Structure 1
């Protein structure tokens, strides 16, 4: 551990581990407040792309530090072997666990409560020219007060710095990745809208909209983008919710809603309460 880190924070038990490092619980030696410390072993970063992601994530988090729905960074420490990032502590089950453990599907009001916070975080990122590029339930955390915190910006990119706001590179996760990423074309920040639409579909249906027996088959289903609403599953889902899903999961990016447009959609504005389809006109 860095001497400056152990001066500012007391490192406690391990909370989890990933490909390049370990997450610990820690608390401030000054305030006593609890945080999470993500310790990354730089000696495991043999790929230059991995090193770039590790360097980029704390810079992006520092830029996004004014959003209540994005994980906040509270300290950054580095020595020859490690990078230590002190962040918000989110011990409540993440959205993946909530979906997995949920008895049946979410009600529209429950889904909208989570979804609207997620879209607020995405909208904030996009206003600052940042695309997350790996929106998935595993990266949607919750703090002790139940507030949503979007996390893991290792795949994020500054699209505002690119000519025309376009990006390249295959990133993302099966089920949630947008078709234009898989096609190898340039793409814009609306890849995050597609991913958020997949999450909303899963919360309302209990199954993903595009899937296969293998990752390759799942990618093929995503590329086809044949959005369906099986009657048995969607019988009780409102026309407003399905309207929003169609406009988020549009293969035609020019017709896909922006984050701000999603937040203004009647289903989101109403908090998931069903309303007359005439209001959608």
Structure 2
């Protein structure tokens, strides 16, 4: 561990392991606050794909650019020595959305709460010219107050406003937008599509476009034949289905933006109901 990190933080326990590093819970020696630290072995990255090193550098730059936002995982400190990189991040000790989805179908109120917070994060990214490009339940974390934190900007890319200037197939099969798979240049609305898939999964318990293999999933995404099976969606409101149709629209010019998602009645009604509940 770097001397600077050891001076400022005390490691408490291991939280998880990834391809290139280990995540620990740590405590700030000055404030006593709890954080997560991602300790990355730079030697393992340099021995592997140079793209991984580029993604790591890109992620730290983008997290600095987007800081602060209540629904984006914050990078609080960065320490580096010859062999390791220490990224001090928000601690999200609650289960991620992927784990929650495996346990339950969400009520519309709870799905709207999560979607509202997620889309505030996405809209903030887009205003700063950043596309996340890998929105999925695994990257939607929750802090100790059960507030959404969008994480993992390793696939994120800067884009020019009003231009479809990004290329490359990135993302996760069930959640990737059709224009990404089509091999065309694309814009930030790929994130709206992915978030739409997340919303569908929260309400249905399964993805809208699926198959027995990755190839079959990709074909289903490219067809983009959106259906609402009555056995699952009979109790889902017309407003929720309308939002899903507008987010999961194959025609990018007709797909709504992140800001428009936040203005959709299904989201605004939830926000208004929450405000009334809090006022008593």
Q: Give distance in 1, aligned partners of 2:247 and 2:110.
A: 19
Q: Mind listing any 5+ residue stretches in structure 2 that lack a counterpart? A: 274-280
3-state SS in 2 of match to 1:59: helix
Which residue of structure 2 lines up, in the alignment, with residue 36 of structure 1? Answer: 36
3-state SS in 2 of match to 1:44: helix
- The more displaced of 152-161 and 50-59 is 152-161
Which residue of structure 2 lines up, in the alignment, with residue 265 of structure 1? Answer: 264
C-alpha change, 1:242 and 1:193, in structure 2 (3 Å) is: same
Mapping 1:192-207, distance limit 5 Å: 192-207=191-206
Which residue of structure 2 lines up, in the alignment, with residue 110 of structure 1? Answer: 110
Which residue of structure 1 lines up, in the alignment, with residue 179 of structure 2? Answer: 180
Is the Cα–Cα contact under 8 Å of residues 69 and 148 in structure 1 kept in the other structure? yes
Output one character per residue of 1:191-230: Cα deviation in whole Å (capped at 9) or x when no partner.
0000000000011111100011111211111111111111
Which residue of structure 2 lines up, in the alignment, with residue 277 of structure 1? Answer: none
Q: Give distance in 1, aligned partners of 2:132 and 2:124.
A: 11
Q: Give distance in 2, aligned partners of 1:14 and 1:140.
A: 20
Output one character per residue of 1:104-140: Cα deviation in whole Å (capped at 9) or x when no partner.
x211111101110000000000000000000000000
C-alpha change, 1:219 and 1:72, in structure 2 (3 Å) is: same
Q: Give distance in 1, aligned partners of 2:160 and 2:211.
A: 34
3-state SS in 1 of match to 2:195: helix
Is the Cα–Cα contact under 8 Å of residues 109 and 272 in structure 1 kept in the other structure? no
3-state SS in 2 of match to 1:271: helix
Is the Cα–Cα contact under 8 Å of residues 54 and 154 in structure 1 kept in the other structure? yes
C-alpha change, 1:96 and 1:218, in structure 2 (3 Å) is: same
Q: Give distance in 1, aligned partners of 2:148 and 2:229.
A: 30
Is the Cα–Cα contact under 8 Å of residues 108 and 273 in structure 1 kept in the other structure? no
Q: Give distance in 1, aligned partners of 2:53 and 2:146.
A: 33
State the TM-score, normalizing by the size of structure 2.
0.94
Mapping 1:2-13, distance limit 5 Å: 2-13=2-13
Mapping 1:59-74, distance limit 5 Å: 59-74=61-76
Q: Report how many residues are paired.
A: 271
* Structure 1 residue 184 displacement after superposition: 1.1
* Structure 1 residue 169 displacement after superposition: 1.0
Which residue of structure 1 lines up, in the alignment, with residue 278 of structure 2? Answer: none
Which residue of structure 1 lines up, in the alignment, with residue 86 of structure 2? Answer: 84
* Structure 1 residue 165 displacement after superposition: 4.9
Q: Mind listing any 5+ residue stretches in structure 1 that lack a counterpart? A: 275-281
State the TM-score, normalizing by the size of structure 1.
0.94
Is the Cα–Cα contact under 8 Å of residues 164 and 185 in structure 2 kept in the other structure? no
Q: Give distance in 1, aligned partners of 2:114 and 2:6.
A: 36
> Which stretches of structure 1, 4 residues or longer, exceed 3 Å deviation after superposition?
none
